[in-house]
C-alpha cells in the first residue's frame, strides 16, 4: 500500500451533481492506495477542498489529471507547475481498535441483529474488504445483504466510511445488491441527512437496553 503526495500549482474543476471550480493556487493532491483522490489547501483542517472517492479511474496526463467514477462525475486537475511528487509506502494497516462501548455494541448486535430490523440475521462479523473490515454483514428478511457500520457516536466520517465499503461490496456479484445501515447510540443530524441522501438506513440504539437483552442459551443437543 502506498500514498502519492503531489504539491502543485493547479486549478480544479468538478462536474457531476453540480459544477465547481477552484482557481489557480498551490495545493496538496493526495492519491490513496484505495484510489481516493483529495485536493487540500493550506487550511481547513482535515477536510479537502474537493475529492473523489473510490471506485474511480485516474488518467494521469502530463498537464492534467482526470478522475471519473461510475456515476459519471468528473474531477479535472490542471497542473500548471508540479513542485513535489512523491510516493510513500504505508505497509499493511492493522485492524481498527474500537473503544469498549463501540466494540460491545457490535458484539451485542451480532447476537441480536433483529434489534436493528425484523428478520435480520448475521452472516459474519468483521467481514473483510480491500479497505478494511465491515463491522457486521447481515441479510434482511428478503435475503438482501446488509453492510452494518457500528459507531458509538454517528458522524459524517462514519457515513463516508460505510459508503466506501458499499462501493467495494457492490462490485461482488455474489453479494450485490448490498444495502447500507449506519448504527450508533447517537447520530448527528448532518450524518442522518448524508445517509438518507445516499440511501443508507440509519438506526439509533440504546446501549443500556441492548445490554439487558437476554442472550439465547447455547444447547448441547
Give the number of domains in the chain: 2
Q: Indicate whether 78 and 13 sit together in one domain.
A: yes
Query: Residue 210 has what pLDDT?
Result: 80
Mean pLDDT estimate for the chain: 88
For 168-172, what is the mean pLDDT?
A: 92
Domain boundary among 62, 89, 116: 89
Same domain, 106 and 84: no
**One domain, residues 134 and 204:** yes
For residue 220, what is its C-alpha cell? 448441547
> Are both 85 and 104 inside the same structural domain?
no
24, 80, 102, 205 from 53: Cα distances, Å: 23, 24, 26, 29
CA atoms within 13 A on the CB side of 112: 15
Average pLDDT over residues 71-89: 93
CA-CA distance, 40 to 26, in Å (whole number)?
9
**pLDDT above 70 as % of the chain:** 90
Does residue 89 surpass a pLDDT of 90?
A: no
Report which of residues 13 and 129 the model is more confident about: 13
| Residue 95 belongs to some domain of the structure | no
For the cut 60, the answer to whether the pLDDT of residue 219 exceeds it is no
Residues 105 and 85 grouped into a single domain: no
For 149, other C-beta atoms within 10 Å of its C-beta total 24
What's this model's pTM, rounded to 2 decimal places?
0.56
Residue 66: CATH number of its domain = 2.70.180.20
Q: How confident is the model at residue 33 (pLDDT cuts 50, 70, 90)?
A: confident
User: Do the domain assignments include residue 94?
Assistant: no
Residue 159 lies in a domain: yes
Asked if residue 105 and residue 181 are part of one domain, the reply reads: yes
pLDDT value, residue 100 = 56
- pLDDT tens for residues 40-50? 998 766 778 89
The residue range of the domain holding 70 is: 2-89
Q: What is the pLDDT of residues 48-71, one digit of tens each?
A: 889 888 888 999 888 999 999 988
Amino acid at each position: 500500500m502506498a500514498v502519492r503526495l503531489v504539491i502543485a500549482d493547479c486549478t480544479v474543476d468538478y462536474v457531476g451533481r453540480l459544477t465547481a471550480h477552484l482557481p489557480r493556487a498551490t495545493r496538496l493532491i493526495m492519491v490513496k492506495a484505495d484510489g481516493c483522490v483529495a485536493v487540500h489547501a493550506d487550511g481547513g483542517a482535515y477536510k479537502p477542498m474537493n475529492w473523489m472517492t473510490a471506485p474511480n479511474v485516474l488518467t494521469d496526463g502530463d498537464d492534467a489529471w482526470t478522475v471519473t467514477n461510475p456515476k459519471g462525475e468528473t474531477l479535472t486537475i490542471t497542473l500548471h507547475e508540479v513542485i513535489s511528487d512523491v510516493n510513500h509506502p504505508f505497509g499493511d494497516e492493522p485492524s481498527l481498535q474500537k473503544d469498549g462501548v463501540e466494540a460491545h455494541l457490535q458484539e451485542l448486535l451480532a447476537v441480536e441483529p433483529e434489534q436493528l430490523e425484523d428478520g435480520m440475521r448475521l452472516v459474519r462479523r468483521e467481514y473483510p474488504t480491500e479497505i478494511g473490515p465491515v463491522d457486521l454483514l447481515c441479510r434482511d428478511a428478503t435475503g438482501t445483504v446488509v453492510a452494518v457500520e457500528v459507531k458509538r457516536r454517528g458522524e459524517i466520517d462514519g457515513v463516508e466510511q460505510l459508503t466506501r465499503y458499499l462501493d467495494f461490496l457492490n462490485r461482488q456479484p455474489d453479494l450485490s445488491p448490498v444495502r447500507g445501515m449506519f448504527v450508533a447510540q447517537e447520530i448527528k443530524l448532518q450524518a442522518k441527512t448524508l445517509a438518507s441522501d445516499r440511501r443508507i438506513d440509519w438506526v439509533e440504539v440504546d446501549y443500556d437496553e441492548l445490554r439487558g437483552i437476554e442472550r439465547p442459551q447455547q444447547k448441547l443437543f
